[in-house]
Structure 1
Amino acid sequence: MAENREIAKEVIEAIGGKENIASFAHCATRLRIMVHDKEKINQKKVEEIDKVKGAFFNSGQYQIIFGTGTVNRIFDEVEKLGITGSSKEDVKNEAKKEGNVFQRSIRTFGDVFVPIIPVLVATGLFMGLRGLLTQPQILALLGMTAKDISPNFLLFTQVLTDTAFAFLPALVAWSAFRVFGGSPVLGIVLGLMLVNPALPNAYSVADGSAHPLTMLGFIPVVGYQGSVLPAFFVGLIGAKLERALRKRVPEALDLILTPFLTLLIMITLGLFAIGPVFHSFEEWVLHGTTFVLDLPFGIAGIVIGFLHQIIVVTGVHHIFNFLEIQLLEKTGVNAFNAIITCAMAAQGAACLAVGLKTKNAKLKALALPSSLSAFLGITEPAIFGVNLRYMKPFVMGLIGGAVGGFIASIFHLAATGMAITVIPGTLLYMNHQLPLYILANLAAMAVAFVLTWMFGYNDKMLEEVKTAGSSN
């Protein structure tokens, strides 16, 4: 389309021309661009381009939000203008050079866990559906009781809900090998070794029905069902070991010796050193997390509900993936989800208030779709495109998130899964919690909307932002 071609030309011009582009790719909603000189980017000009919902630097990349579908078309038009696109991995590798050690570490942590989240989402949905179908009230509507449920049906649901967590180390080790440049199949095998049925089952050891093996007279050895960190570090060290071996082993023996030595060395380290050390660390993290979530008077909900979207802005929120996986694996529920959902819903409501209150057609066209995106669980367009630009709506959203988080915490709301929130997130609360989940989110949205409408935005702020942008 001619319109998209013009937008592509405007994007290239606003970021300093073709010569300023080091590499570019796209994800589901954004163009991700690495530039040679940040100073050549005209931020105000980028934000004024039609269909742009926000633009910002994150993880070393200049990211321009267009939204699902639109970004693909803009990307195609940019390529037609003679700029060769890069793979997302190439752009990520460039971005990894940016930021401090902590930011780079969190980014890498996220790269390992993000690919396995979809299967954990599916597992959470299966758990929610099983909880719904086995509720006494639902069974009563069908003229049944718990005794009428077929044991084979329950076994089938158990296969759906338990498999991903039973073999979680295999998923984590596979992803770690992939990220750190090893052979993913070796990661899968090492992960499966950590949960080999020949080892005492971690769950059985936990409930006292089994006992750890004692190796060398003092090292306790168990299976690592549901563990994350042991598999992560086995994958990290194993991938680097494999790459080092390939450089030193003669080519004629590489096929035999490299996988043999990698598996032998890493499972020895995994069972006798890495596993015991990092499993203990996991327990400390879990106890610390549950301690915070169990704080009285809704304190956890207030703090997490207020701070979560600030952490999202910093780009280090992937650390929460680990915490949520640990909560689900150890307790079967995820109290984090309910709180952060309220934080996201509140940002969407603040953005909606801006969209409904403004008389500026472009801002209205940006804010209303961005608020819908937030209600579907993607807050970046609302945050970077609207709320942060005028700041007060973002703050009002933080307050709304704290109120919703407080309610979620007071009522001990907890999801059956992770990674889906707000409207899609209702699928994780298909039990007695659903009315309270809706209440907490509506409260967060109402507070954020009313505060933004009354104190957080007026069209004078639009002019102030334009003036500030033109003076830079």
Structure 2
Amino acid sequence: MSENKKVAKDLIEAIGGKDNISSVTHCATRLRFIVNDEEKINKDKVEDLDKVKGAFFNSGQYQVIFGTGTVNRVYEEVEKLEVNSVSKEEQKEDTTKKGNRLQRSIRTLGDVFVPIIPVLVATGLFMGLRGLVMQEQVLALFGLTPADISDNFLLFTEILTDTAFVFLPALVAWSTFRVFGGTPIIGVVLGLMLVSPVLPNAWGVAEGADPLVFFGFIPVVGYQGSVLPAFIAGIIGAKLEKQIRKRVPESLDLIVTPFLTLLIMITAALFVIGPIFHVVEDYILVGTVSVLELPFGLAGLLIGFFHQLIVITGVHHIFNLLEIQLLESFGNNPFNAIVTASTAAQGGATLAVAMKTKSKKLKALSFPSAISAFLGITEPAIFGVNLRYVRPFFMGLIGGAVGGFAASIMGLKGTGMAITVIPGTLLYLDGQILQYLLVNVIAIGVAFALTWLFGFSDKQLKEKNKHDGLT
């Protein structure tokens, strides 16, 4: 029997057998189970399995952390054992009514924005590479100056860096229709209508161009780079489409449903939803910038300390909206550097545990978890190591606060979002790379030193094993 097959078999038994599993799916690092009876789960046995780096309940799901790569292989073995595996979309229906209203709302926000993030990550990397290529020192290596760069080349780079944000409403509307049960292609067209070239360009209006004025008082503009108008229009549009479809004869559905949905929604989006939520979006942006501009590095201290606490709750996807707004409005993202510090610090704390413990099992768990954190994914480090022993997690929070403080003081601003620590270096190639590396060293160093000195000893390990009945 292969190792992964044994892990899958033992895991299913520890969860209470196939009959206790309603469905299972997976994400980048975790298996996500919907169970029928939580009391049947032997949680200590689950967490003691080889390759398992932690397990917890969140948003109605029992989530078992394996880490990137491993989770895919274990999931394949779980499928072979004929457990009820489903897609993420199907499992969402099982979890819709679980959790409080805030958890459900944040989960839905994540479902909408997570599929969009990869293209925004790519756009951020393009921005970083353009910043690197256009630096005078880099050009000088090839005997060039900025004046030697052709307009056509700059135009090509604009295609790479601007397209995702110009058509962002189409991406948001598409994903929102998909999540709320509408037809995604109708969402795409609705979003494209919001950035139609016949409308005054949003950035042009921001710089002084005149919007269209309907009925003498309603300003109508394009919504390039905007998020909330497309998001709200997507929610209402998906629900409207389903209501229209229920009332239209099947023979006319193909023609009437998309026609009425688009007609009603673009009217509502341009004349009501857009003007209102564009103002709301501006206020959110102003509030975010005000926090990030707190004096004396306070923003870095606060965000650097609390961010990983928020990750534990699973509601950290709400920050996606804020980061998108920062990038669209300013072309940079100061939030990323602070979050990088909090992420790196958890890795530093886990690395200290790995190097200090004499337990082979804990070493085998901690080293890969630390590497995962340095690649930007902290769940294995948090749930597999740091939270188990409490103090390493708290030392990681302190390291994140100190690193975040340094990031704020230095004024670091990434060119993109959603990647941190080692992969995140690509967002700081525009002359900030040394400061970025220094922030990471500070965060990791502080968390490592505090954990080594005050945060962990094998005595804690023995006490925990004794408490858990493992010794």
Return the TM-score normalized by structure 2.
0.98
Distance 2:286 2:441 in 1: 31
* Cα offsets for 1:44-98 (capped at 9, x unmatched): 1111111111111122111111223322232232233332312222222212221
Specify the alignment match of 2:185 in structure 1: 185
Number of aligned positions between the proteins: 470
1:98-117 pair list within 5 angstroms = 98-117=98-117
Moved more, 450-459 or 64-73: 64-73
Specify the alignment match of 1:166 in structure 2: 166
Distance 1:279 1:340 in 2: 27
1:429-448 pair list within 5 angstroms = 429-448=428-447
Distance 2:3 2:163 in 1: 48
Q: Determine if contact 2:21/2:84 at 8 Å carries over to the other structure.
A: no
Paired residue secondary structure (2:411): coil
Q: Determine if contact 1:44/1:470 at 8 Å carries over to the other structure.
A: no
Paired residue secondary structure (1:83): coil
Specify the alignment match of 2:376 in structure 1: 377
Specify the alignment match of 1:408 in structure 2: 407
Shift in Å, 1:41: 1.2
Specify the alignment match of 1:347 in structure 2: 346
Specify the alignment match of 1:28 in structure 2: 28
Distance 1:8 1:203 in 2: 53
Distance 2:461 2:364 in 1: 14
Specify the alignment match of 2:262 in structure 1: 263
Matched letter for residue 133 of structure 1 = V
Distance 2:146 2:30 in 1: 48
Specify the alignment match of 1:325 in structure 2: 324
Matched letter for residue 450 of structure 1 = A
Shift in Å, 1:28: 2.5
Which runs of no fewer than 5 residues in structure 1 stay unpaired? none
Shift in Å, 1:35: 0.7
Q: Determine if contact 2:113/2:172 at 8 Å carries over to the other structure.
A: yes
Paired residue secondary structure (2:468): helix
Specify the alignment match of 1:302 in structure 2: 301
Matched, 1:251 2:241: no
Q: Determine if contact 1:328/1:416 at 8 Å carries over to the other structure.
A: yes
Specify the alignment match of 1:311 in structure 2: 310
Paired residue secondary structure (1:470): coil
Specify the alignment match of 2:204 in structure 1: 204
Matched, 1:123 2:90: no
Distance 1:310 1:47 in 2: 21
Paired residue secondary structure (1:364): helix
Matched letter for residue 459 of structure 2 = K
* Cα offsets for 1:295-352 (capped at 9, x unmatched): 1100000000000000000000000000000000001000000000000000000000
Paired residue secondary structure (1:225): coil
Paired residue secondary structure (2:303): helix
Matched, 1:152 2:123: no
Matched letter for residue 366 of structure 2 = A
Specify the alignment match of 2:222 in structure 1: 223
Paired residue secondary structure (2:57): strand
What is the Cα-based RMSD across aligned positions, in Å?
A: 1.1
Shift in Å, 1:12: 1.3
Shift in Å, 1:198: 0.8
Moved more, 247-256 or 350-359: 247-256
Shift in Å, 1:6: 2.0
1:20-99 pair list within 5 angstroms = 20-99=20-99
Distance 2:431 2:116 in 1: 29
Distance 2:59 2:468 in 1: 23
Distance 1:326 1:235 in 2: 18
Specify the alignment match of 1:362 in structure 2: 361
Matched letter for residue 170 of structure 1 = A
Distance 2:16 2:152 in 1: 63
Shift in Å, 1:232: 0.4
Shift in Å, 1:137: 1.4
Specify the alignment match of 1:398 in structure 2: 397
Q: Determine if contact 2:22/2:84 at 8 Å carries over to the other structure.
A: no
Moved more, 84-93 or 222-231: 84-93
Distance 2:157 2:94 in 1: 43
Shift in Å, 1:267: 0.3
Q: Determine if contact 1:348/1:374 at 8 Å carries over to the other structure.
A: yes
Matched letter for residue 243 of structure 1 = K
Distance 1:445 1:71 in 2: 26
Moved more, 114-123 or 39-48: 39-48
Show structure 1 runs of 4+ deviating over 6 A. Answer: none
Distance 1:72 1:406 in 2: 37
* Cα offsets for 1:360-409 (capped at 9, x unmatched): 11110000000000000011000000001101000000000000000000
Distance 1:66 1:211 in 2: 54
Q: Determine if contact 1:298/1:409 at 8 Å carries over to the other structure.
A: yes
Matched letter for residue 354 of structure 1 = V
Q: Determine if contact 2:347/2:370 at 8 Å carries over to the other structure.
A: yes
Distance 2:110 2:8 in 1: 30
Distance 1:101 1:243 in 2: 23
Matched letter for residue 318 of structure 2 = I
Matched letter for residue 59 of structure 2 = S
Q: Determine if contact 1:32/1:91 at 8 Å carries over to the other structure.
A: no
Matched letter for residue 274 of structure 2 = G
Distance 1:355 1:49 in 2: 18
Distance 1:136 1:47 in 2: 53
Moved more, 5-14 or 312-321: 5-14
Moved more, 131-140 or 405-414: 131-140
Return the TM-score normalized by structure 1.
0.98
Specify the alignment match of 1:334 in structure 2: 333
Shift in Å, 1:4: 2.3
Moved more, 170-179 or 60-69: 60-69
Identical counterparts, % of pairs: 70
Shift in Å, 1:172: 0.3
Q: Determine if contact 1:340/1:405 at 8 Å carries over to the other structure.
A: yes
Q: Determine if contact 1:33/1:91 at 8 Å carries over to the other structure.
A: no
Q: Determine if contact 1:346/1:401 at 8 Å carries over to the other structure.
A: yes
Q: Determine if contact 1:23/1:86 at 8 Å carries over to the other structure.
A: yes
Paired residue secondary structure (1:451): helix
Matched letter for residue 272 of structure 2 = A
Shift in Å, 1:139: 1.5
Distance 2:62 2:366 in 1: 21
